[in-house]
A and B are shown apart, each in its own frame.
Chain A
């Protein structure tokens, strides 16, 4: 499989593979990071940290532990959350928005230039609040199913099926079925 080959080349410090993986995932990581830090410059800073970290710790990834994307998004969330806890961040941003990712999407001018923007914007408009919450926690914030279940006060089984339904809606919208 091509992805596995790319990842293994990347683990052998192949720069071309690194760049290919960057191009595949960087926009996604950028979105996740920005949703947490809510600042353009800081998001770019964290992006750099994340991919530098990924390069240095490439060997720690194993396909047995999960998808490469999942590995990377974990690094991204952790780095972004670490940043929000740092002293300089706290000084510059006294109160972080409690907003969800949907606020970015809804108020996003940049979206217009993105390929899937229209579909995603529609999706977000239509999206029930229960979907927004569960997607925010599981994908943007990296909650475990247990943490999500506690935060949303519903059984793990419900989280699973609700999330499945929400992602199905998204996939229909994006034609990834």
Chain B
């Protein structure tokens, strides 16, 4: 039998289907080893069958492999992306900032827990990297973000914990009653930390301007504009303030800021409770 006749007989199609007996399979295998054109024919038949059967699949098959590897305990090959807190800055601070002001002690414990959790997650990530040393840009990016956010968290935590810090809640005003903000005033360093989470995003071409006020007579002093409001993740801004402030206010001003506050656009206002 010539190779052509052999191919035309249809035995190779049955071979790929697995419809032959064991002896027939071995005979075909011997032929394949000796005749490249027969092997080539088998490869083509196989390719066509693979495509035909694949077309009957109900959905994508890729994700099933993850479950297979997990079941076999093989997950190591693909470096697992450790779910670092995706938005630690935003949620974390929205929570802690306000929780701390209400229940400072409880809040602090919570903060510390969060910190150690974050720290231990970073440790895990670092260990993972040492183990893998595979190019994993995503992971590195996450680590640097986590580190940065941890550093920032620690700094802000130390501010909130400091007994000499004066907390000044700023309440929403007529133009936007739902607005709120909070100032943490560190008199030693002449800094205020403004938590502006509760302010809406300023419209295009406008910025928030922060004012220090003395009450009698009412004298506003600009502490500057918040130009990066939209891009700042945690909406906590550090602003230097060497004034003997009796109150703080935030107004919406045209980009660049104004000389004096536009009182119709006063978003939040709050008086310093007691001046030590």
The listed residue (B18, B50, B77) touching A28 by CB distance below 8 A is B50
Beta-carbon nearest neighbor of A147 in chain B: B19
Q: A65 contacts the other chain (Cβ, under 8 Å)?
A: yes
Closest to A104 in B: B56
Min C-beta distance of A6 to chain B, whole Å: 14
Q: Verify B53–A140 contact, CB threshold 8 A.
A: yes
Residues from chain B with Cβ under 8 Å of A61 in the complex = none
Q: Contact size class for A?
A: 35 or more
Of the candidates B44, B54, B56, B71, the one whose C-beta lies within 8 Å of that of A52 is: B71
**A139 and B22 within 8 A (CB):** no
Verify if A89 is at the interface (C-beta below 8 Å from B).
Answer: no
CB interface residues, B 125-176, toward A, < 8 Å: none
Q: Which residues of A contact B9 (CB under 8 A)?
A: 160-161, 164
Contact with A along B38-73 (1 / 0, CB 8 A): 000010111111111111111101101101110110
Take A48-B67, A64-B29, A139-B53 as given contacts and tell me if A40 and B18 are in contact as well, using a CB distance cutoff of 8 Å: no
How near does chain B come to A43, taking the closest CB pair, in angstroms?
6
Cα A22 to Cα B61 in complex, Å, equals 9
* Chain A residues whose CB sits within 8 angstroms of the CB of B69 once the complex forms: 15
* Bound complex: CA A161 to CA B56 (Å): 25
B17 within 8 A of A: yes
> Which residue in A30, A55, A74, A138 is a CB contact (below 8 Å) of B72?
A55
Interface residues of A in 82-128 (CB under 8 A from B): 101, 104-105, 108, 110-111, 114, 116-117, 120, 123
Provide the bound-state CA to CA distance between A35 and B14, in Å. 20
CB-CB contacts below 8 Å: A150-164 with B: 160-161, 163-164
Question: Is B118's beta carbon under 8 Å from chain A?
Answer: no
> In the bound complex, how far is the Cα of B16 from the Cα of A127, in angstroms?
20
Q: Decide yes or no: A170 and B50 within 8 Å by CB, A104-B56, A110-B59 being known contacts.
A: no
Of A15, A105, A176, which is within 8 A of B56 by CB? A105
Q: Is A26's beta carbon under 8 Å from chain B? A: yes
Q: Which residues of the other chain, B, contact A19 by a CB distance below 8 angstroms?
A: 65, 77
Residues of B within 8 A of A27 (CB): 50, 53-54, 57, 61
Q: List, in ascending order, chain B residues with CB within 8 A of A140's CB.
A: 53, 56
B residues 195-247 near A (Cβ < 8 Å) are none
| CB-CB contacts below 8 Å: A22-46 with B | 22-32, 34-35, 40, 43-44
A71 to B29, CA, bound (A): 14
- In Å, the complex CA distance between A94 and B211 comes to 74
CB atoms of A44 and B18 under 8 A apart:
no
Q: A161-B10, A176-B47 are in contact. Are A31 and B22 (CB under 8 A)?
A: no
Residues 126-177 (chain A) with a chain B CB within 8 angstroms: 135, 138-140, 142-145, 148, 160-161, 163-164, 167, 170-171, 174, 176-177
CB-based contact B50/A25 at 8 Å: yes
Interface residue from A26, A35, A67, A144 paired with B62 (Cβ < 8 Å): A26
Given A70-B16, A139-B17: A31 and B46 interface contact (C-beta under 8 Å): no
Q: Which 6 A-B residue pairs are closest in the complex by CB-CB distance?
A: A164-B10, A31-B56, A160-B10, A27-B54, A30-B57, A26-B61
Beyond the given pairs A160-B13, A174-B47, 12 more chain A to chain B contacts, judged by CB atoms under 8 angstroms and listed by A's residue number, are A27-B50, A30-B54, A30-B61, A31-B56, A31-B57, A35-B53, A64-B25, A65-B25, A69-B49, A71-B18, A138-B13, A148-B19
